[in-house]
Structure 1
């Protein structure tokens, strides 16, 4: 089941019915998870810079180029939820059908944002199923599923540091579930380690809840060239309110500031729709409002909305295209921050 299909179901069916379609039939304790991935095996990586994969893609009708071969920085990218099935609480990294969907969707349309600025490392991991984000049972199924997923992400990052990084500057990036895990990585590896933190170009913690004071030492980015900081936002149609996200950290990807002024669409360098064919200039504006990034719905097709369930229902979310709406701004900003990091490190 694709995320767009889930969005359509959410629009057509009662919310509880939609969620029940995705709920695993048994508690986490009654499942035997698939074996943990061995990150020495390249098949357990969705993206590696040393081979041709979906992270090397660029929109077809553009002059953009993959530059991983000569990039002087790395990005460790944690992909969002692509496992929606109810068969288990966690995915199997050996599921070829799931891996193809992950590669063609998020690795191609999100991780590729960084292929002009950095070498891309994106692990496959035993991701928690989508229902984990809506489960509130006393058994703690969701937290146990997400903790298992994080053990894989953590192991992959440790393998990357030991075998691939070689002291290079690092971008940490994710989306949705991937951002949940990336946020934990920053806590565990960077917040209390000044040596590793000096190599942090920036973290792009998009599509999830990150508090402004999430870390002791890592703060939200204040401008387009600050390094060692993080960027966070969640895109929704202007006029929406969502109390669970109140006071969540937000960076405006058109200005790279945290003020609440509306940034006009003229500052949008270009979005890339789900079709991944072209750049759509000035696709939308952006304004920070109480933990959300308010946008005007784009006119070009291919930017689907998504009903985000939870304690409150957030309608008209553009969660699926958090990266796509600001594709070129993100791409150019990653390059600019790498250059700024290099200048400051001389």
Structure 2
């Protein structure tokens, strides 16, 4: 049954699964597994997206009038995809798992990374991502070990990107969920202590993960829509829901790109993109910052699923899966505008 349903976990509510998170728990400790062969980022096959070939990051929603602008884009986007590996087969994914790679490309690369294809050339590494259960493993070192292995791959990919692809161009760092966890570490290790690299940073879109306001020594939350060298972060939940553990964390309103708590009406929403990637829904929802969360009015059009996880009923108000989809056009236009702002400030 698990094999039958696991590809739907990213895109659909999890009600068909048994209501027990232990279904997702790997059967043995991390040290008892031999990790799959690591990536060689000199090989195109170790990248989910590269600007030199056709891939899912080139996509635009049907009948949207949008187009892939990577060929002429002045910036680069280093995108780290979220968790698409859920099976209890092991703590980390195997890069040779073609079915998983296709699922990653059809879901997160198409639905999220593509939001940046008007702003920059997209580089999205494949990596030995930690299985979903790693984020809920609070009793053993297994989950953190799996995340550390995944980050080691992301770090290697970024180092290869800097050495072989970047050539001094401005950089957008972007991710979601597990991808944002790794992106947050990447900024700590590469950008926070390095003024030269920090000057190349257009912005970091750290979506779908907890990021503290004072996370970095030198990098701050973006205060407006055109500030550069800063980060954007939010976690979408249904209006009126409080989740106390998020309270100390930074939040950006993706309709105004500000940090205040004013309600941004749905009229500012340029358009969400539905789950099937076949339509744009203008004014799909509003947005308001509340105690470390982004409150949204649940959208009426279908195709923006909640995050329903076995054994975690407190997450039923979360629109984590739709963090990018709800604000797709706003993100797309903002990324392009920030690149232009970076170019003006760098003259």
- Does structure 1 residue 292 correspond to structure 2 residue 293? yes
**How far did residue 9 of structure 1 move?**
3.2
Q: In 2 relative to 1, CA 233–335 (structure 1 residues): closer, same or farther, beyond 3 Å?
A: same
Q: Structure 1 residue 21 and structure 2 residue 17: aligned? A: no
Alignment of 1:101-112 (within 5 A): 101-112=103-114
Secondary structure of 1:306's aligned partner: coil
Inter-partner Cα distance in structure 1 for 2:58 and 2:115: 9
Query: CA–CA distance in 2 between the matches of 1:218 and 1:70?
Result: 28
Runs of 4+ in 1 over 6 A off after TM superposition: 309-312
Superposed counterparts of 1:172-191, under 5 Å: 172-191=173-192
Structure 1 residues 122 and 311, CA, compared in 2 at 3 Å: closer, same or farther? same
How far residue 85 of structure 1 moved from its aligned partner, in angstroms, is 0.7
User: In the alignment, which residue of structure 1 is the partner of 2:65?
Assistant: 63
Work out the CA distance in 2 between the residues paired with 1:219 and 1:11: 41
TM-score (norm 2): 0.96
1:185 & 1:208 partners in 2: Cα distance?
14
Deviation at 1:2, TM superposition (A): 2.4
* Aligned residue runs from structure 1 range 242-257, under 5 A: 242-257=243-258
User: TM-score normalised to the size of structure 1?
Assistant: 0.96
Partner of 2:146, secondary structure, is helix
Count of aligned pairs = 342
Please state how far the C-alpha of 1:313 moved relative to its aligned partner. 2.1
- CA change 1:207–1:149 in 2 (3 A) is same
SS in 1 for 2:204: strand
- Per the TM alignment, residue 13 of structure 1 is displaced from its structure 2 partner at its CA by 4.2
Unaligned runs of 5+ in 2: 1-5
Deviation at 1:7? 5.6
In structure 2, what is the Cα distance between the partners aligned to 1:72 and 1:331? Answer: 15
Q: Corresponding residue for 1:100?
A: 102
Q: Distance in 1 between matches of 2:155 and 2:311?
A: 27
Residues 212-253 of structure 1 deviation map (CA, whole Å, 9 limit, x = unaligned): 000000000000000000000000000111111112110000
**2:2 maps to 1:2:** no
CA separation in 1, counterparts of 2:60 and 2:11?
26
Aligned to 1:210: 211
Q: Which whole-Å CA distance do the structure 1 matches of 2:233 and 2:15 have between them? A: 25
Q: Which residue of 1 aligns with 2:149?
A: 148
Provide the secondary structure at the position in 1 that maps to 2:57.
helix
The structural deviation recorded for 1:6 is 8.4
Spell out the pairing of 1:93-172 with structure 2 (5 A cutoff).
93-138=95-140, 140-172=141-173
